[in-house]
Amino acid sequence: MDEPQRRDIAAETGAPVAVHLHAARLSYRGAVVFEGLDLDLPAGRTTCLLGPSGVGKTSLLRLIAGLADSEDGGALPGAAVDQAGRPVHDRVAYMAQQDLLLPWASVLGNVLLGPRLRGEHRQPEIARRARGLIAQVGLKGREDDLPARLSGGMRQRVALARTLAENRPIVLMDEPFSALDAITRFALQELAARLLAERTVLLVTHDPLEALRLGHRIYVMAGSPARLETALDVRDGAVDLPPPPRDPGNADVLARQADLLKRLARAREEMPELP
């Protein structure tokens, strides 16, 4: 990314925000999903969360997004805060595995969903920016198309543009590319890494290679109740990986992928019932 674009993002979203989660606890139908869980997302970096299905990755992401409801209706312990101790749930943009596009709204209408909900969509500046984002994800000229006319990859590009249109310092992504074919996924990882640079990103994924391509830090979530293990942290002196998005053919990436796969297989055996 060139220098002017980097300054752009910093000016738009303010200084990067770190996210801290301390002693988080969540139960589901009486069973403890995790408790006493600590998580740090470094400011302006991408953190990936790997783990077997059902371990609680999505629950953890929803907790940070402010979407988790406690079962007894009370406040949830361990709301995510920034470096100054303020809650972050109102500064996140959320992207799910399903594109969640509104079938009756055009591409532009979908990208402007957030502004519409907040009554800001008539500001010319916001519409102009949304069109710019649509061009950036490679869909210039398709602004007026309905989602049904787009391919799966294009739809997820629209979802990415909608996420960016929120212009939040923190982006939470729950397996955003897992429903796509391998080639489309590869292209979208590249695009997302470029457009999300300088933001604080949490990416939940089940694909070790995706985590290794995009992550500055990788956690593996395992056990029941779940705990987090650090599987990669670029601050370590021992790590000599290039910055993301990394080439999947890089020998270090491939060696680490094999290592992560074994680790995930062990984590899966720890699950109470194999799905």
Number of residues that bind other proteins (CB under 8 A): 26
Task: Compose the 172-211 pattern: x for residues touching other proteins by CB under 8 A, - for all others.
Answer: ----------------------------------------
In angstroms, give the least distance from the CB of 222 to other proteins.
26
In angstroms, give the least distance from the CB of 34 to other proteins.
20
CA gap 21, 79 in Å, rounded: 7
In angstroms, give the least distance from the CB of 127 to other proteins.
16
Task: Compose the 59-78 pattern: x for residues touching other proteins by CB under 8 A, - for all others.
Answer: ---x--xxx-----------
Task: Compose the 160-179 pattern: x for residues touching other proteins by CB under 8 A, - for all others.
Answer: ------x-------------
Residue type (1 letter), 248? P
Q: Is the Cβ of residue 115 or residue 244 nearer to other proteins in the bound state?
A: 115
- Say which DSSP state 81 is in: B
Strands 227-233 and 217-222: antiparallel
Buried b / exposed e over 236-275, threshold 16 CB at 10 Å, is eeeeeeeebbbeeeeeebeebbeebeebbeebbeebeeee
Q: Is the Cβ of residue 166 or residue 198 nearer to other proteins in the bound state?
A: 166
Buried b / exposed e over 189-198, threshold 16 CB at 10 Å, is bebbbebbbb
In angstroms, give the least distance from the CB of 200 to other proteins.
15
Backbone angles phi, psi at 192, to 5 degrees: -65, -40
Q: Contact between 108 and other proteins (CB under 8 A)?
A: no
CA gap 205, 50 in Å, rounded: 6
Residue type (1 letter), 61? L
Q: Is the separation of the CB atoms in 13 and 166 below 8 Å?
A: no
Three-state secondary-structure class, residue 7: helix
Q: Is the Cβ of residue 125 or residue 240 nearer to other proteins in the bound state?
A: 125
Q: Contact between 122 and other proteins (CB under 8 A)?
A: no
- Give the one residue of 34, 94, 177, 219 binding other proteins; rule: CB under 8 A: 94
Compute the residue count for the chain. Answer: 275
Query: Which residues of this chain interact with other proteins, rule CB under 8 A?
Result: 62, 65-67, 89-90, 92-94, 96, 98, 100, 102-105, 113-114, 116-119, 146, 148-149, 166
